[in-house]
Copies of this chain bind each other. A is one copy, B any other.
Amino acid sequence: MTKSSLQTPKGFRDFLPEQSSRRRFVVEKIRGILENFGFEPLETPTLEYAELLKGKYGEEEKLIFEFTDRGGRDVALPYDRTVPLARVLATNQNLSKPFKRYQIQASYRADNPQKGRFREFTQIDFDILGSNSLVADAEVIVASLAATKEVGFEKYILRVNDRKNFQGLPIEAIRAIDKLAKVGEYGVIDQLKRVGYDTKEAKALLKRVKNSSPTKQVKDLFKLLENYKVETDKYAFDPTLARGLDYYTGIVYEIEVEGYPAGSVGGGGRYDDLIGRFANGKTPAVGFAFGLDRLIEAAEELNLLDPYKVSSRVLVTVFNEKLLKESLSLVSLLRKQGVPAEISLDPNDKLEKQLKYADNKGIPYVAILGPEEVKTKTLTLKDLASGEQKNLKIGEVIREIK
């Protein structure tokens, strides 16, 4: 085996306990909000037939991870979980609608990895399918704001636009304008020139877009958000916001977090035509996706995440081979009482080595069960942070460390 095969492929990552635990913390916060809003969980597989994904993502399609399986069929890792969702809708006509689902899974893009962007990345998607009511757009927006707040962010804003503001423009021009916040006016004009506008036209177009007013839909949406009592500094109209994907048809939005300039932590919008491409009849849809990596990066930069703590509250040490029995009995009892506990695995290890294990791992307490303790049916509990030791009965221990 070569040394390089010990690495993960480019853009694919391991998550060690600290990072895995942070990801779970953020995911569970958001899951709580989504269930509070009545979204239901859904999972789709890690492979799809490639044909399903083709023709859905515009020029980005070249980034699909595609390969041929043993049966000779072209398969692919999902580029997102929206197209698989559309497939689920098309093949499960019995799902009662409006169908509100959330999905927390990885997607895959053979992109060049950069800050906050990876080839395997997790998104937290939630969508409402089968409603063309503006209340559905509002529900998704209110849920996305509540979820952002729940993670611990205080200053954030949802920027909103209506794709109808760009009616008649080619997708390349829309994508160029969408980059305004990232590349500035000159950057946008440059990009517009590259897709066929001359300087004068490009400037005029950008000016026209920047000065456009909220559509009736945007105004009606903002009234709904008032009815939900969303704080008014949490959303704003942005006529240049477009979102990159081809399939949006109406209201679109992104959430930006103050103090995290790397980009939006999530975005979404209405896409009324996508599902109809898989199934008979039209299924209007609206949805949002958080990028978990960005959310975590932002939360880390703003110090919102507690330092990692192992679950174990106490390490039960082993005095010697003969007293191992007592320690096994204790660790078993603690666990049954709901106290996460570990036991030193090697009865021949010196106490010092056992304490060092607890210390390295960040376990706050150690329990010592020597001949004296066994005789008096007590144990010595040591708080590793303070160094304080107490001789306690077992019932007292549970109270002390729980």
Contacts and interface: CB of A to CB of B under 8 A. Distances in A.
Query: Copy number in this complex?
Result: 2
Interface in A96-143: 96, 98, 100-101, 106, 108, 110, 120, 128, 131, 133, 135-136, 138-139, 142
A72 to B, nearest CB: 12
A90 B5 CA distance: 12
A142 B332 contact: yes
Given A139-B345, A228-B332, A15 B36 contact: no
19 contacts: A1-B55, A2-B51, A5-B52, A8-B48, A12-B47, A14-B44, A16-B42, A20-B40, A36-B311, A38-B341, A38-B342, A45-B120, A46-B77, A96-B360, A100-B342, A128-B345, A135-B328, A135-B344, A146-B335
Interface in A8-23: 8-10, 12-17, 20-21, 23
Interface string A172-205: 0000000000000000000000000000000000
A242 B250 CA distance: 60
Nearest to A328: B227
Interface in A249-295: 277-278
A117 to B, nearest CB: 15
B9 A48 contact: yes
A300 interface: no
Interface string A342-360: 1111110000000001001
A396 interface: no
Given A328-B224, A345-B135, A20 B42 contact: yes
A229 interface: yes
Given A91-B7, A343-B139, A345-B98, A24 B46 contact: no
Interface stretch (A62-70, A231-239, A384-392): A62-70
A37 B135 contact: no
B120 A345 contact: no
A95 interface: yes
A336 to B, nearest CB: 9
A170 interface: no
A5 B69 CA distance: 14
A328 B102 CA distance: 21
B38 A325 contact: no
A402 interface: no
B5 A328 contact: no
Nearest to A74: B5
A42 B69 contact: no
Nearest to A71: B10
A329 B40 CA distance: 23
A373 interface: no
Given A51-B1, A91-B6, A46 B14 contact: no
Contacts of A84: 14
Contacts of A302: none
Given A7-B49, A131-B345, A345-B135, A310 B142 contact: no
Contacts of A101: 17
A46 B120 contact: yes
A58 interface: no
A161 to B, nearest CB: 22
B96 A9 contact: no
A338 B8 contact: no
